Copies of this chain bind each other. A is one copy, B any other.
Amino acid sequence: MAKWLDQISVPTLLLDETRVRRNIERMAANARTGGVRFRPHFKTHQSADIGMWFRQAGVQAITVSSVAMARYFTDQGWDDITIAFPVNLREIAEINRLAQEIQLHLLVENLDAVAFLAHRLAAPVGVWIEVDAGYGRSGVPWNEGAGLTALASAVADNPLMALRGVLTHDGATYTARAHEAITAGYVQTTTRLARARNWLIEQGFLGLEISVGDTPACSVVADFAPADEIRPGNFVFYDWTQVQIGSCAWDAVAVAVACPVVSLHPERNEVILYGGAVHLSKESLQREDGTPTFGAVVLLDDDGWGAPLDGVWLRSISQEHGVVRCTSNAYARLIERVRVGDLLGVLPVHSCLTADLLKIYQSIGGKRIPMAPIPTFWTTAGL
Q: Which residues of A contact B (CB under 8 A)?
A: 7-10, 12, 43, 65-68, 85-91, 94, 109-110, 112-113, 116, 136-138, 141, 171, 260, 262-264, 267-268, 272, 274, 277-278, 281-283, 316, 318-321, 323, 339-341, 343, 352-353, 356-357, 359-360, 362, 368, 374, 378, 381-383
Contact = CB atoms under 8 A, between A and B. Distances in A.
Contacts of A89: 260, 262, 340-341
B281 A88 contact: no
Contacts of A68: 10
A215 to B, nearest CB: 13
19 contacts: A7-B382, A9-B88, A9-B382, A12-B381, A12-B383, A43-B320, A85-B262, A85-B321, A88-B274, A89-B260, A112-B339, A113-B340, A116-B340, A137-B321, A282-B283, A282-B353, A319-B352, A360-B383, A368-B383
Given A8-B90, A9-B382, A281-B277, A85 B264 contact: no
Nearest to A130: B263
Given A116-B341, A137-B321, A319-B43, A263 B9 contact: no
A362 B383 contact: yes
Contacts of A66: 10, 320
A155 to B, nearest CB: 16
A271 to B, nearest CB: 11
B85 A320 contact: yes
Contact of A10 (B86, B91, B318, B343): B91
A360 B375 CA distance: 11
Contact of A9 (B110, B357, B362, B381): B381
Identical chains in the assembly: 2
Contacts of A360: 378, 383
A91 B8 CA distance: 9
A240 B349 CA distance: 25
Closest 7 CB pairs of A and B: A89-B341, A112-B340, A9-B90, A86-B262, A282-B282, A9-B382, A10-B381
Contacts of A321: 85, 137-138
Interface centre among A43, A90, A112, A281 (most CB of B within 10 A): A90
Interface centre among A88, A141, A267, A281 (most CB of B within 10 A): A88
A357 B359 CA distance: 11
B318 A137 contact: yes
Contacts of A340: 89, 110, 112-113, 116
Given A113-B341, A136-B323, A138-B321, 19 more contacts: A10-B90, A10-B91, A10-B381, A10-B382, A65-B319, A85-B320, A86-B263, A87-B262, A90-B341, A112-B264, A113-B262, A138-B272, A278-B353, A281-B281, A281-B282, A319-B353, A319-B356, A360-B378, A360-B383
Contacts of A109: 263
Contacts of A137: 272, 316, 318, 321, 323
A110 B382 CA distance: 48
A262 B319 contact: no
Nearest to A283: B282
Contact of A359 (B272, B274, B368, B378): B378
Contacts of A171: 318
A8 B91 CA distance: 9
A370 B357 CA distance: 17
